[in-house]
Every structure is written in structure tokens, then in C-alpha cells.
Amino acid sequence: MKRIILSLVLLISAKALSQNTSIAIGEKLTYSASYVMSGLLTDLAEVTMETSEVNTSKSKLMKLKCTAATYTKWDSFFKIRDLYESYVSPSSLTPYLYNRDINEGGYNKFMKYKFDHKTNTVASLKRKLKKDGSTVEEKKTVKIGNATRDLVTTLYYIRNMEIHKAKIGDNQNFTIIFDNKEMVINVKYLGKETLNSVLGKTECYKLAISLKNSDVLKGNNDNLIWLSADANKIPIYAKFKIAVGSGELKLKRASGMLN
């Protein structure tokens, strides 16, 4: 599932505005995650993305939360319970804290990033559960670029970009931090398409992505995302092809949108 989540993040990374005009506190998006098994596309899990308000002693933040869980009938086969969350500025979506806690088929891993935007560094904490039940912990400081973001922030940051100004074929590189490493991706605008979705007939922006110096994503224009071509730019549908197979994410429910 971590590859699926990463694929979705990579699929929707692009240039954005400096101010948040698309993401509301209290928004909730729910997706079905399907994977090709024995030649058939099979619904395996549910992915939920939701926002909430968090008040600290110094400021008000927006919490961006993404969870992934296999449906109960698949738990005996390969149980997944993943949590990704980021705490950001409600206006600029600048990330300050990121947590990732994954449980996939008995594999457990926790990571925390604390962003220091003055020094362009991330204080990273990694904790892994070993087979014998013991825990291994690693702390380090990672140098990052001034535009590098975590996974969850990137998922939302895309939705403030000025896609309506793009021309077919326009592309740009962007950077995310994943497992303490910066990853560079390329996003290409392919034009508009109309899809049938839970929101009805929806005109969408169609984007393709590729990842530099990595085999996470496979194929040529096989990793695609469709965003609603409106002020909310909701991810409606995504197709991905990774090293261990292919699948899709499809919007099931949407509520609390800003526009």
C-alpha cells in the first residue's frame, strides 16, 4: 500500500499558487483502491483523505490526514492499516510536521519529520518493529531544498495550481521527501477529459507523471490522474503501474468542499 500511496502522491504533484484557495477545513474524500489480481481488477482497500483544524499555543494549523485500510475480507490475506498525516499552514500549506505509521502484512514502520524552513532541514525520526518484537530507532537531520514537501502536503498542494493556464505538453519537475530521500518527479499536462463519477459528468484535467532515478513507477504515460476542472480540483480518478503490478483509485464520496 505504501507504493500505492506514493504513486498517488507522485501522480498529483505540480506547481501551485502561494495561497490556499481550494482546500477547506472539514473536507473529506473517500476512494476505493483496486489492484489487478490474476488478471482481474479487484477492490482491496479504502483510502480516505480528510482535513481538520488544530490549535497550538502559537498558531492555528490544518491537519491533512490520509488513511488506507484493506476491506475486512482481505485482512487474512494481507492486512493493511496505514496512516499518513501532515500539519500545515492553512493559508500557504507549508508543512511543519509529518507522521507516517504503516502496518502492512505485519510489517510496521513509523516516521516523523519536523520541518525547519529557516535552515532547509528536516529532523527525522524512524522507528521499525523487528520480528522479535524489539524496536529499532534512528534519528537524523536531512538537508532539503526550499521547495521540498512531504507526501501528504504534496497531495493537497497540487490543488492550488493554475492548471487552467497550462498548455498541452507543458511539464515541470518537483521534489518530495520520502524515506529520508529527496525524489524528483516530472508532471505533464495532457489536456481535459470528461469522466462519469460520483459527482456526475465531471470535466477533468488529465496529468501524467514520471519519476527520475527510481523504478517505483513503470510504463510511458501509464501513471495518470484526473482532477476536477473547477476551483476545488478534486482527484476524481487515478491509474498507476508499479513494479509489482497495476491498479486504480476511484472517488466514492466527497463532502465539505471549499467551493
pTM recorded for the entire structure: 0.87
Write b or e for each residue in 43-58: b if 16 or more Cβ atoms lie within 10 A of its Cβ, otherwise e: bbbbbebbbeeeeeee
End-to-end Cα spacing for the chain: 31
Q: Is 9 a residue whose pLDDT tops 80? A: no
Q: Is 10 a residue whose pLDDT tops 70? A: no
CA-based nearest residue to 117, from 139, 88, 91? 88
Identify the residue whose cell numbers are 511543519.
Answer: 96
CA-based nearest residue to 159, from 246, 99, 221, 88? 88
Contact by Cβ (8 Å): 99, 85: yes
Q: Is 127 a residue whose pLDDT tops 80? A: yes
CATH 1.10.10 assigned to domain 2-250? The reply is: no
More confident residue, 253 or 162: 253
10 in helix, strand or coil? helix
Q: How far is 155 from 107, CA to CA, in rounded Å?
A: 24
Joined grid coordinates for residue 6: 506514493
DSSP per-residue codes, 28-53: EEEEEEEEEETTEEEEEEEEEEEEEE
Q: Return the pLDDT at 17.
A: 43
Task: Read off φ and ψ for residue 63, nearest 5 degrees.
Answer: -95, 125
DSSP code at position 217 = B
| pLDDT tens string 38-88 | 788 899 999 999 999 999 888 899 999 999 999 999 999 899 999 999 999
Q: How far is 56 from 155, CA to CA, in rounded Å?
A: 23
Q: Return the pLDDT at 14.
A: 37
**253: confidence class by pLDDT, cuts 50, 70, 90:** very high
| pLDDT tens string 198-225 | 999 999 999 987 777 666 776 667 789 9
Q: Is 94 a residue whose pLDDT tops 80? A: yes
Annotated domain spans of the chain: 2-250
Q: Return the pLDDT at 7.
A: 53
